[in-house]
Amino acid sequence: GLLGNGETGEYIITAGRLGYANCAKFTRRSIFVQSEADATAAAGGTTAVGGGVDSSGKVKCVPLEDGGQISLASISCGKNHFVAVEAATTSGTDVPRVFTWGSGDYGCLGHGIQADEYYPRLVGALRGPMFASNHPVDAVAGSNCSLVRTKNGHVYYVGKHRQVGEATMRFTLIDALANNSHNVVAIGAGSATVFCSTKAGVTVSWGMGSHGELGYGTGENKSSAKPKFVNVLDSCLVSAVACGMGHTLFLISNEDAEDAKALKKVPKVEKDDIAQFVEQIKGKKSDAGADEPAKKKQKSKKK
């Protein structure tokens, strides 16, 4: 359901072999849906016990009437899912909505269940009076998690980005930041990492960082179960975070003397550092190649 067109695209090539129809060009999506229960609640009605679910146990959804007029302000893709935030209207009367679709593994779509969605579906948990003056503004998707940032710098998380622990099945406020008055301005998520950077120049990260991508530095733990300060970025104003496989990139402000002072503490990557890194990679590959014949020889002896 990654294409958001309401189907998986599966077709039979030969007996026992499936193919998938890919989209060869950009196609505008005009069908956005919400659960039948959310639609009933929005209309002021009540949903009966067991209502809103079909015979197979899948949540019933209905198209949004304004689907053809929806514009997006933010969109991000994870390993097999998408999360998008609607653009605010010029009048400011309508609260921007959040939509997710694709694979629902670990509850990363935020609908409270592990189920795939073939159309962009409204996340009902991010609606209501509490979001009227603190509406969603952007979102990022990790491999199996999603984060949504609001106007006041609060961050909501769903899914899972660590190998241990339980998945978070519904969008949940990261209270470690919100309760300490942190106004988050940039968020990022990777295969096993999450980053949040604040307006005050504080950056925190948590997750599994086996390659040092969490930024804690030499001699520190490479992983953290809870948000932990990235000390090397202290006082740096981060405007954007991009989390890749085994690495993280930041856009840092350098507009005045305070910014320049903060940046001086951040180590620079020089050409010699890159050359040394390349040589290390080459050395590891050659060592691995040298071990291969020995392994084959040992196997032949056993025969």
pLDDT at 259 over 50: yes
Sheet of strand 155-159: strand arrangement:
136-141, 145-150, 155-159, 168-173
Q: Which helix (H) or strand (E) holds 12?
A: strand 10-14
pLDDT band at 270 (very low <50, low <70, confident <90, very high): confident
Which of residues 169 and 303 earns the better pLDDT score? 169
Q: Is 131 part of any domain?
A: yes
**How far is the C-alpha of 193 from the C-alpha of 142, rounded, in Å?**
8
Mean pLDDT over all residues of the chain? 87
Is residue 279 in a domain? yes
> Containing domain of residue 150, as a range?
75-302
Query: Which residue type, as a one-letter code, is found at position 245?
Result: M
Residue 215 in domain: yes
Residue 27 located in a structural domain? no
- Give residue 300's identity as a one-letter amino acid code: S
Nearest to 142 by CA among 115, 184, 106: 106
Segment 188-193 mean pLDDT: 96
Domain count, the chain: 1
Q: What is the pLDDT of residue 50?
A: 46
Structural domain contains residue 168: yes
Distances (CA, A) of 215 to 220, 271, 272: 9, 21, 21
Note whether residue 2 is domain-resident.
Answer: no
Average pLDDT score over residue span 70-82: 96
Single-letter residue type at 302: K
More confident call, 291 vs 150: 150
Type of residue numbered 282: K
Q: Decide if 233 contacts 203 (C-beta within 8 A).
A: yes
pLDDT surpasses 70 at 25: no
Question: What was the pLDDT predicted at 82?
Answer: 97
Position 56 confidence tier, pLDDT thresholds 50, 70, 90: low
CATH of the domain at 143: 2.130.10.30
Q: pLDDT by residue (tens digit) across 226-236?
A: 999 999 999 99
Residue 265 pLDDT greater than 70, yes or no: yes
Closest alpha carbon to 243 in 149, 94, 143, 123: 143
* Region for 208 from its dihedrals, namely left if φ exceeds 0, alpha if ψ lies in -120 to 50, beta otherwise: beta
- Report yes or no on 293 lying in a domain: yes
On whether residue 196 sits in a domain, the answer given is yes
The pair of three-digit structure tokens given for residue 100, joined into one six-digit string: 């997710």
What's the pLDDT score for residue 85? Answer: 98
